[in-house]
Amino acid sequence: MTEQAPPRVARRPGRPPQASSEETRARILDAALSSFARAGFAGARLKDIADGAGVHTALVHHYFGDKGNLYAAVLERALAPLKESGVTLLSPDLDVRMVMEGFVTLLVQFFNERRDIATLMARESLAGGEQLRLVMEETVRPLFQGALAFFGAARARGDVPDLDPAQMVFTVVGAVAVYFVHGSLVAQVTGEDPFTPEAVERRRTELVRMLHALLSPRVTP
């Protein structure tokens, strides 16, 4: 007598395991960002992060290994869109003015929308920056090198003043970062909320105007 195969157990409807896994990972990253932003790398505890994500601490270790890897994953998730957009923007075929405006716009959008990440990185930088080393090497440095190559070529063509490309990049990034990272100080000095849509757009516009003025030919009397 031929044995019959056991009947298949119908799978319950619902989201596939992969979707559940990705959602859990995202919840852990969200909770980790909140904890790191509040307490810094040294002060954040994996138990608190797990509680914030609604999971067991063992699951945090399962997805990320240790706190250092989790910290790097938080930053990489936030910075990856900035890197991708920046590399695309720095095309040698684009006009220098267009690239400068796009670069400022990209930075303003990032620092305004991700002030939590900017503040977190500033905190860790003041503590020595050791925890930032991996994400700086893998995410930020490629974008920085691309900007150096673009503005270095523009300087060689005479499209921009004879200025050190690295210092140009530092100046632009710094002009954006200081405004958003130290927004509370800006508010105290100006007496206005620096983060209203109108204030953010004014900051972006004026930075673009300053950079365009730098590129404008000087008229000798």
In contact, 96 and 155? CB cutoff 8 Å? no
Sign of CA dihedral 21, 25, 30, 31: positive
pLDDT confidence tier of residue 203, bands split at 50, 70 and 90: very high
Question: Using alpha carbons only, what angle is made at residue 106 by residues 193 and 96, rounded to the nearest 5 degrees?
Answer: 125
Query: 216 versus 128: which is more confidently predicted?
Result: 128
Residues 6+ apart with CB under 8 A from 2: none
CATH match for 76-215 among 1.10.357.10, 1.10.1740.10, 3.40.47.10, 1.10.150.120: 1.10.357.10
Q: What is the pLDDT of residues 152-199, one digit of tens each?
A: 999 998 888 898 999 989 999 999 999 999 999 999 999 999 999 999
169 closest CA partner among 213, 119, 103, 92:
103
Could you give the residue range(s) of every CATH 1.10.357.10 domain in the chain?
Answer: 76-215
The pLDDT of 72-80, averaged and rounded, is: 90
Report the pLDDT value the prediction gives residue 172, as an integer from 0 to 100. 92
The answer to whether residue 219 scores a pLDDT higher than 50 is no
The answer to whether residue 49 scores a pLDDT higher than 90 is yes
pLDDT confidence tier of residue 119, bands split at 50, 70 and 90: confident
Q: Tell me the whole-structure pTM to 2 decimals.
A: 0.80
Could you give the residue range(s) of every CATH 1.10.10.60 domain in the chain?
Answer: 18-65
| Distance from C-alpha of 135 to C-alpha of 145, rounded to nearest angstrom | 15
Amino acid at 49: I
> Which element (helix H / strand E) includes 213?
helix 197-215
In contact, 169 and 144? CB cutoff 8 Å? yes
The pLDDT of 21-40, averaged and rounded, is: 91
123 closest CA partner among 38, 184, 45, 52:
38
Q: Which CATH superfamily is domain 18-65 in?
A: Homeodomain-like (1.10.10.60)
The pLDDT of 4-33, averaged and rounded, is: 68
At residue 219, the 3 state secondary structure works out as coil
Report the pLDDT value the prediction gives residue 131, as an integer from 0 to 100. 85
